[in-house]
Amino acid sequence: MADHIRILTCASEGIYKEKGSKFLSFAMTVESEHEVKQALETFKKHYYDARHICYAYMLGEDRTQFRAFDDGEPSGTGGRPILGQIHSLELTNVLIVVVRYFGGVLLGTGGLMHAYKQAAADALANNTWIEKEVTSSLHLTFAYEQLNQAMSILKAMHIIIREQQFESTCHLTITVSRSILPQLIAKLEIIPNILVEEPE
């Protein structure tokens, strides 16, 4: 599991021209397939007169949710080169759309792949990205007698406490970096009868 993810800081545009064809490219941050669908509907309405609207997206902290779409171009010539640019920068939560206006001259599979790749690359070149730490939330439940022991562990590991409730039974909601999560859980499990859960 990744400790950090790389995401775009803003939306950006690019363009590539080849033998009369014009490839308009757009890169943006998305958080879900629903957001991808909404964005694509907007592009289809706005660029209704375009010959092809190809795209690729990547979602999730582990970059396992992705798709490349050719929209009628020869298989693998539109979406895959766009996805390749996302892979090359190890981005996630990103959608890149390339809108093609046909110029009357066929580019061939190699020419198409190059054009879609360059268009996507141009949109990314006009953007910036940041490394974002991946964190998890945990809910801790333990007896009041274990409060000092629990707080000592959390303080030593610089854990952020989001919510706290101290009664005969204590409840804490914490945020922890994924990189130290196993180490923290191992330390907390020493506390008698502690319950460590992910919030619903």
Encode pLDDT of 162-195 as tens digits.
999 998 999 999 999 888 889 999 999 999 999 9
pLDDT value at position 177? 87
pLDDT-based confidence at residue 135 (cuts at 50, 70, 90): confident
Question: By C-alpha distance, which of 7, 120, 8 is closest to 61?
Answer: 7
* DSSP label of 42: H
Higher pLDDT residue, 135 or 7? 7
Residue 1: band (very low, low, confident or very high) from pLDDT cuts 50, 70, 90? low
Give how far Cα 89 sits from Cα of 78, 127, 139, 182, Å: 18, 12, 35, 28
Domains annotated for the chain, with CATH where assigned, are 4-132 (3.30.230.30), 134-197 (3.30.70.240)
Average pLDDT over residues 138-150: 94
- Measured in degrees and rounded to the nearest 5, phi and psi for residue 39 equal -65, -45
Closest CA to 175 of 147, 141, 135: 135
pLDDT tens for 111-133 read 999 999 999 999 999 999 999 88
Tens digits of residue pLDDT in 33-49: 999 999 999 999 999 99
User: Judging by beta carbons within 10 Å of its beta carbon (0-12, 13-18, 19+), is residue 134 exposed, middle or buried?
Assistant: middle
**pLDDT for the residue numbered 178:** 84
- Element housing 121 (H / E): helix 108-125
Q: How far apart, in whole angstroms, are the C-alpha atoms of residue 62 and residue 53? A: 27
- The pLDDT assigned to 14 comes to 97
pLDDT band at 62 (very low <50, low <70, confident <90, very high): confident
Q: Residue 174: helix, strand or coil by DSSP?
A: strand
32 pLDDT higher than 80: yes
pLDDT band at 61 (very low <50, low <70, confident <90, very high): confident
- At 126, the amino acid letter reads N
| Residue 22 falls in which region: left (phi positive, over 0), alpha (psi -120 to 50) or beta | beta
pLDDT digit string, tens, across residues 82-110: 999 999 999 999 999 999 999 888 899 99
What does each C-alpha distance from 55 to 44, 73, 149 come to in angstroms?
Answer: 12, 11, 52
User: How much is the pLDDT for 82?
Assistant: 98
Tell me the torsion sign for CA atoms 144, 148, 150, 151. positive
**Inter-CA distances, 87 with 42, 67, 129, Å:** 25, 12, 14
